[in-house]
Structure 1
Amino acid sequence: MKFLKLGKEGLIELSLLLYKNKMKNKKYRSIKFYRYFLLISAMVYFFFAMIFYYSRTIQDPMPIEQRLLTGFIFFGLYILTQLSHCFEERIDRIAYFSAIFVIVQLIYLSYVQGFEFEVSINILLILAIINLIFKGDRLALYTNIILALLLGVALYFTDNPQHSLFSFFVGYLVIAGLTYYISNQNYKTAQVLQASEQRYRTIFNTAPFGILLEDKEGTILEVNKTLCEISGYNKKELEGAKITDNLVASDQFEISKQHIKEVLEGKELEFDTISITKNNEKIYTHIKESPIILPGGEQGILSMQIDITERKKQEEIIKQQRNIIEQLHSTALKFMELESETEVLEMTIEAAHDLLDFEFCNIRFLKNDKLVGKVSSSEVLKPISKNEGIAGKAFREGKSIIIDNFDDFPNLESENKNYKSGMSIPIKNLGVFQAISKEKAAFSSEDLKLAELLISHTASSLERIYAEEEIKYKTFHDKLTGLYNRRFFEEELERLDTNRQLPLSIIMADINGLKKINDTLGHKKGDELLVKTANILKKVIRDEDILARWGGDEYVIVLPKTSNEETKKVIKRIHEKTSETKGDQLTVSLGIGSAIKNTKEQDITKILKQADKVMYKDKSSHRK
């Protein structure tokens, strides 16, 4: 079973990369990380406020009010990120600028105290930490430059410094530059990894088969979209659960455990099994499992799955048919899947060429007393009379013919002088299948029997297709007028009853005087009037409108996206067309009513009844 051109190694690498990045994204720079940063920062301020407040020997370089206020600011931001989605979305920037505020605060305190070493050294320490834990993007670069300028101005205006300000400033620039460089490189690497992960994620999720990663205990670590579609579960329901919790049938538990054991021992397995969907349906899946090493160094399993339920069902059908009909050719099964005449005829020629080894063959169908070429394995066919050649003889007589040598039958010779022998098989009253050869006596009686078996399948398939097309047509069309019938109209009305189609207009029309025509001129004339009315209505509607015979002498039209004014125009055109029939033996006169659905709250059934009511009111006015 081939899963992808990536190959096993590529799939393993892809799955592990996605899982590794997934684990990394959960561990670093998450919303939880930034919340902890804000909370711990607040706790640090409160802690030192208590230390300095209760200690009489250590003097706090920061006023206690300022320290407490800063702590409350950090704690308030922490609370806001818990309560507000807006703050949560921007928590990385909030945390970053809060940290920058700490540096600005330290620069100010250092300036006030003449840049004492014990205070100013904290600027370097905090700056290094902030640069390393936050991403080194352009904002960080500009912020570092502004902080450096701010520090430079503060140092410039400092009186009586406690140590060499120039050395301190140089040290600051070195630390700021070095830590930003490290952070920037990490940020760039993260961006590259993110782009790579996105590309692989697309492949992973759009793979046409299910992919699953599990650990040695059978716990699902990662699944793709296709596997979710196959199983009916979403990612949250699968990831973190045991493989046996949702995906394995109860009678397959022990087999599943044995498979896990074998794969962990280094074996690669490929097998068909029964799985359970979320809807508790049993499906057949083809599975390929390979051992892998997870990012943490532990053993794991890569599982690739394809839903083969339909294939299994088809196999069961084939088995049943083989038991009922011996010698049933595989082509007959393929014919059952075809939906058009062209497909059947093309497959017939293909089967005759590939299975029966007929080099040159064709099919002609009768049209206007000529056998017209439909399909051919070689040359383009010219129409011939049904009275000509071997094909015409087989069609007229309704039986198969083999000619070993066309030279012996001048009146049945082939159109092409290069062909020496051939056979023709009638396809009921439809046409003829013909095989020809450049060699004499190329076809045996066994060849004829096999070809007749093939053509019998062809004829049966064509009859099925024609019958289905006729049934489909009759199911949705009125036999007399050729219009859609009431059943089809009701289904279409339900389909069109959406907001997109508003305003949705309905026109009801009823023939005036049909009963009188039937009584005086006969039902045949009445039927002609029905057909004549249908043809008039066809001419006035658009392609997207639906016209149907509602029943008896009533017709109905649904007009999607049609306003009241536009509906009136349609009704006006109908009256104009019917007026043109005045003077005819069969004059068309209609009672017409309409109604419009403008809002989704309106009931389309009531709209239909409203149009019917208006129609009968109009019909009554004609009687007066």
Structure 2
Amino acid sequence: MEHRKNSESLPIIYELLNKIITDHTQVSDEINKDLKTDHKNNQESALLDKIFQKIDDIYENVERISWLNNHYRILHKFAQICSKSLNEEVLLKKAYEMVSQVMPTDSFYIATYNEGDSHFNIAFMVDNGEVYPPVTVNLGKNHTTKAIKTRKIIHHRKSIREKDYAVILGNQDSGYTNSCLFVPVIIDNQVKSVISAQCYDEFAYRKEHEELLQIIGTQVFSSIESARLYEKIYKMSLYDELTGLKNYRAFHEDLLSLMNKEQTSVHLVMIDSDRLKKVNDHYGHDIGDLYLKVLADGLKSISDETIQGYRYAGDEFMIIVNSQREIEPLYKRLTEYYTQHPIHVQSDQIVVSISAGVSVFPQNGVNVDALKKASDTALYIAKNLGGNQLVFAE
């Protein structure tokens, strides 16, 4: 008996699927009614209702996937841009351009957020075609905060006036947008951003627009995270870990940059410690490292917008003086700093002692190597004279 009922249902299912495949449309209520009229058995009618519901769900998913596939070219192009650019401003602007190609964007913004902060930053915002400067907004009664805290997409399909949501951004004279999307971007289980598209028309967005914003948002912020990591690593590569001073790589970049400008003069001071080896041999390398840190702290104490210190290698340090300032007073300030900041090891007191050689661009050299050589020669003379003194290149 059960076998007979299933056999009777098969033609119904076949006829239903054939209608969908042939017409490429969802099964209408009229078709549903006709089919159910042909098969009046209550059990089969109930089964048919379930089949209709499942087919509708499948149809909607296929339609959604088809819609996304139609925009794959744009997403692929954007992914290529994200993989090539390390500029946050460029990435945010390109994200807006991509979104504008696939959905209405009378208003659009991207908010960035760091976990634990009490505020978020509107890093990029366009309203009625006008680009607005970045702005910081406190967490509170606004849709961006709600998207951050709930980690859920907020989708208003028509005009909504919530008194509690009082934050208005962009052109306030243009009135309220009606359709609004606020999509949180979650990376490594942390909300990194909220991306919002808004339109003056009602019912302007569909479910697929939410997914598209999520994809674009994830792409752009994954790239931004990579760009920030690259920038952090690059900056770390320009600094000496022990002393916190810029290193030899930064020294060459900075000096070459100054030489390529029309500068009146640049002084290069090469510094070498007078007794680091003795300190290492007698007290150990931990105290030797402390000796280098105090030496570096002295350079930091005289640094300003025209004076920059560097740890070049070992106990060799550089100072670039990009001004007409006299070097002797700077050297005196350094030695005074070291006298005032001795290193105490048990009952002993160690005072940092340095020798320095000075060269001037362009008089003593017109490139980095020539200028370094002139300073090195002057430093060699200072060391041979007993150290703890300053010598200028001839």
Same-fold call, TM cutoff 0.5: yes
Number of the residue aligned with 2:50 = none
- Provide the C-alpha distance between the structure 2 equivalents of 1:442 and 1:540, rounded to a whole number of angstroms: 61
Where does residue 370 of structure 1 map in the other structure? 119
Q: CA deviation at 1:571?
A: 0.8
Shift of 1:557: 1.6
When residues 445 and 618 of structure 1 are mapped into structure 2, their CA distance, relative to the original with a 3 A threshold, is: farther
| Distance apart, 1:419 and its partner CA | 4.4
- Residue 341 of structure 1, CA deviation: 2.1
Alignment-derived partner of residue 337 in structure 2: 577
> Structure 1 counterpart of 2:374, which letter?
I
User: What are structure 1's unaligned runs of at least 5 residues?
Assistant: 1-324
Q: Does 1:432 align with 2:181?
A: no
2:167 aligns with: 415
- The corresponding residue for 1:613 is 380
* CA distance in structure 1 between the aligned counterparts of 2:182 and 2:332, rounded to whole angstroms: 60
Deviation at 1:549, TM superposition (A): 0.9
Letter in 1 for 2:124: V
Contact 2:308 2:321 in 1 (8 A): yes
Q: Return closer, same or farther for 1:374/1:521 CA change in 2, 3 Å cut-off.
A: farther
Match of 2:113, SS state, is: strand
Matches within 5 A, 1:456-475: 456-475=218-237
Amino acid at match of 1:373: I
**Aligned-pair identity (%):** 18
Aligned to 1:489: 251
Q: 1:442 to 1:477 in 2, by over 3 A?
A: same
Give the C-alpha shift of residue 494 in structure 1: 5.8
RMSD of the TM alignment (CA)?
A: 4.6
The answer to whether the Cα contact below 8 Å between 1:361 and 1:434 also exists between their aligned partners in 2 is: yes
Count of matched residue pairs: 294
Cα distance in 2, alignment partners of residues 403 and 518 from structure 1: 73
How many Å apart are 1:380 and its aligned residue? 7.8
**Aligned with 2:269 (options 506, 513, 523):** 506
Verify: 1:443 aligned to 2:231, yes or no. Answer: no
Match of 1:593 in 2: 356
Contact 1:426 1:432 in 2 (8 A): yes
**Which secondary structure does the structure 1 equivalent of 2:296 belong to?**
helix
- 8 A contact 1:489–1:546 mirrored in 2: no
| Greater strand share, structure number | 2
Distance 1:515 1:393 in 2: 63
Q: TM-score, normalising length from structure 1? A: 0.38
In the TM superposition, residue 513 of structure 1 has moved relative to its aligned partner by: 6.2
Tell me by how many angstroms 1:414 deviates.
Answer: 6.6
| CA–CA separation in structure 1 for the residues paired with 2:252 and 2:103 | 50
The yes-or-no answer on 1:454 pairing with 2:216 is: yes
1:344 corresponds to: 91
Contact residue 291 and residue 352 of structure 2 kept, 8 A: no
Quick check: 1:593–1:618 contact (8 Å CA) kept in 2?
no
* Superposition deviation, residue 553 in structure 1: 4.1
Tell me the distance in 2 between the aligned counterparts of 1:458 and 1:568.
Answer: 52
1:366 & 1:515 partners in 2: Cα distance? 52
How many angstroms apart in 2 are the aligned matches of 1:344 and 1:618? 58
Deviations 1:192-217 (A, max 9, x none): xxxxxxxxxxxxxxxxxxxxxxxxxx
C-alpha contact (below 8 Å) 2:268/2:358 kept by paired residues? yes
CA contact (8 A) 2:247 2:311 kept: yes
* Structure 1 residue identity aligned to 2:332: K
Three-state SS of the structure 2 residue aligned to 1:461 is helix
Using the TM superposition, give the Cα deviation of residue 508 of structure 1 relative to its aligned residue in structure 2, in angstroms: 0.7
More helix by share: 1
Secondary structure of 2:180's partner?
Answer: strand
- Which residue in the other structure is 1:395 paired with? 148
SS at match of 1:377: strand
2-side partners of 1:345 and 1:504: how far apart? 42
Q: TM-score, normalised by structure 2?
A: 0.57
Tell me the alpha carbon deviations over residues 298-333 of structure 1, each in whole angstroms, 9 at most, x when there is no partner: xxxxxxxxxxxxxxxxxxxxxxxxxxx966443444
Measure, in 2, the Cα distance between the counterparts of 1:467 and 1:353: 29
